[in-house]
Amino acid sequence: MVSTCIQNICCIGAGYVGGPTMAVIADRCPNIQVNVVDLNESRIKDWNNSDLSKLPIYEPGLDEVVERARGRNLHFSTNVKSAIENADMVFISVNTPTKSKGVGAGKASDLRWVEACAREVAKYSKKHTIVVEKSTLPVRTAEVIKSILSSAQKEDNKHDEPKTFEVLSNPEFLAEGTAIKDLENPDRILIGGENISAVEALAQIYGQWVPNENILRTNLWSSELSKLTANAFLAQRISSINSVSALCEVTGADVNEVAKAIGTDTRIGSKFLKSGPGFGGSCFKKDILNLTYLCRHFGLPEVAEYWENVVKLNDWQQERIARLVVQKLFGTLAGKKISLLGFAFKANTNDTRESPAIMIAKRLLEEGAELAIYDPKVEGYQIKSCLSDTTLNVNNANSNKYTVNNDGRWGSAEDIYSSLKGADAALILTEWEEFKNLNWSEIAPIMRQPAWIFDARAIANQEAIKAAGLNIWRVGDGSE
């Protein structure tokens, strides 16, 4: 099959997706020069830090990949113009948050940065350039990109080699915390596009380490929609099991046992059935809201409502955990110290975007609690920026805002023990390995009795907690 051979890649956006993805491409394709550019100078400085523990994002294994490729064929800079000029292929990997105002506020994706990138590519490219959508985008965004690029194509008359473009969709399915593993050994690579030669040029890159049968080729719109659908399905499983967790608690069942029993049915499968404080992260909520916006736009309100409930249930799970803490602590948190163990939205990442810990912490602060927050990878300044916005999105699907009357105080604790010292309760919100085997008989005497352990991830050793004389609540456990 005829395909263009790619020698030089530019990626706009050095974030959680662009950075690790390009690092792995550069690692696996030493003959391709990969230039990752970003407007954020300090982020680029961090990517270039010779101390690999200071990379801007924490991902297991990322440092080794960067060490092998950086300076050889992986480069990080803020020079967008020159990176585009030299590129045969440009990945757009900028953020696409939910719009905060205007048409579609609270639901539609804000495409201003994607549009800005398309304009930059239109302006600076000098030859045939394949533009790859890496960011998660609403269906038919490729149309917007194409129309911006085609106007540049028409205006161009000064280059020897004609300035032409092809647009591909190549959504990223990596999960944070396992990004390198997911990139090196993906379940599938999805490439959507109309031009076979462009599709094959990208397939050839992934073909360096991914078996051809795992590289799926589809049309543009299927590819764009598959990404939103995949995230919606994953999120739906979490809301489903969380809804069952509440039912377990009142019926005497145990959600872990139920998850195991249903997950062994190969038609259901065992993954994404872990009950917890609700899903967080930059993608699930944003993508579902975006999906519901599209459904309404295309006159499908019933479909929109169906998916909106996945988000509503997720909000409810967080609310109910916060309420439960208040209730178990005799209806008031005023002056009580609560240790929050974990602030990241999941383990093995320092990312706090949409973390369930944010909503829960705000609720507890509203009740007057004194929170001692400990997370092994999240810095105090990150927690501060999450908690300084005192608005809460309640029922996000309907975009209702609520201002917290913040009576409590919080501080970030240096270590687990200082977070627990004198605490009336501990609330485990992230499934960090170090929270799984805590020495509860040592911890119990330093807490104020009667003390509670709220295990919202169902990871702690329940027997050891009980043996230490502590009260325990575990998500989805109705066996008490």
Q: What residues act catalytically?
A: 172, 227, 283
For ligand UDX, give the closer residue by CB, 245 or 412: 245
Nearest to 141 by CA among 96, 83, 81, 77: 96
Angle subtended at Cα 402 by Cα 401 and Cα 406, rounded to the nearest 5 degrees: 145
Of 96 and 447, nearer to ligand UDX (C-beta) is: 96
Q: Where are the alpha helices (DSSP H) in 264-420?
A: 284-297, 301-328, 356-366, 380-388, 416-420
Residue closer to ligand UDX, measured from CB, 176 or 200: 176
| Region from 273-281, 300-308, 363-371, 437-445 binding ligand UDX, contact rule CB under 6 A | 273-281
Q: Shortest gap between Cβ of 337 and ligand UDX (angstroms)?
A: 26
Q: How far is the CB of 430 from ligand UDX (least distance, A)?
A: 8
**Least distance from C-beta 345 to ligand UDX, angstroms?**
4
Residues 27 and 18: their CA atoms lie apart, in Å, by: 14
276 touches ligand UDX by CB under 6 A: yes
**Which of residues 367 and 455 has its CB atom nearest to ligand UDX in the complex?**
455
Contact 365, 355 (CB under 8 A): no
383: closest CA among 337, 352, 417, 349? Answer: 352
Q: Is 346 in the site for ligand UDX (CB under 6 A)?
A: yes
Return the number of the residue (234 or 383) whose C-beta is nearest ligand UDX.
234
CB atoms within 10 A of CB 113: 17
What x-and-dash track marks residues 126-165 binding ligand UDX by CB under 6 A? --------xxx-----------------------------
Binding residue (CB under 6 A) for ligand UDX from 6, 15, 88, 201: 15
20: part of which helix (H) or strand (E)? helix 18-28
Site for ligand UDX in 43-62 (CB under 6 A): 43
- Report how far residue 364's alpha carbon sits from residue 335's, in angstroms, rounded to the nearest whole number: 11
Least distance from ligand UDX to the Cβ atom of residue 10, Å: 11
Question: Considering the rule CB under 6 A, would residue 216 count as an interface residue with ligand UDX?
Answer: no
Q: Using an 8 Å Cβ cutoff, are 451 and 479 in contact?
A: no
Tell me the CA distances in angstroms from 353 to 16, 173, 216, 279, 284, one per residue in order.
11, 17, 30, 11, 11
Rounded to the nearest whole angstrom, what is the least distance from the CB of residue 196 to ligand UDX in the complex? 26
- Select from 23-31, 203-211, 280-288, 400-408 the region that touches ligand UDX (CB under 6 A): 280-288
> By C-beta, is 282 or 339 nearer to ligand UDX?
282
Helix or strand run (H / E) with residue 244 = helix 220-251
Among 115, 216, 229, 272, binds ligand UDX (CB under 6 A): 272
Pairing of strands 425-428, 337-341: parallel
317 vs 363: CA distance, rounded Å = 13
- Is 231 a binding residue for ligand UDX by CB under 6 A? The answer is yes
Q: Is 175 in the site for ligand UDX (CB under 6 A)?
A: yes
- Examine residue 229 and tell whether it contacts ligand UDX (CB under 6 A): no
Which of these segments, 89-97, 147-155, 382-390, 405-413, binds ligand UDX (CB under 6 A)? Answer: 89-97
The two structure tokens encoding residue 121: 């590519």
Of 121-129, 275-283, 383-391, 439-447: span binding ligand UDX (CB under 6 A): 275-283
Q: Name the residue with the smallest CB distance to ligand UDX.
A: 15
Closest CA to 86 of 8, 32, 26: 8
- The residue from 28, 274, 362, 363 that contacts ligand UDX (CB under 6 A) is 274
Q: Which residue's CB is nearer to ligand UDX, number 98 or number 337? A: 98
CA max distance for the chain: 80
User: Under the criterion CB under 6 A, does residue 13 sit at the interface with ligand UDX?
Assistant: yes
Tokens of 438: 């805590």
Residue 334, amino acid: A
Q: Is 176 in the site for ligand UDX (CB under 6 A)?
A: yes
Quote the CA–CA distance of 27 and 25 in Å, as a whole number.
Answer: 5
- Examine residue 280 and tell whether it contacts ligand UDX (CB under 6 A): yes
- First CA to last CA across the chain, in angstroms? 64
Binders of ligand UDX in range 402-441 (CB under 6 A): none
Structure tokens at 41: 């100078």
Among 17, 90, 202, 364, binds ligand UDX (CB under 6 A): 17
Handedness of CA 412, 418, 422, 424 (dihedral sign): positive
Strand partners, 474: 455
If one counts every other C-beta atom within 10 angstroms of the C-beta of residue 478, the result is 16
> Interface with ligand UDX by CB under 6 A: which residues?
12-18, 38-40, 43, 93-96, 113, 116-117, 134-136, 172-176, 231, 234, 238, 272-274, 276, 279-284, 345-346
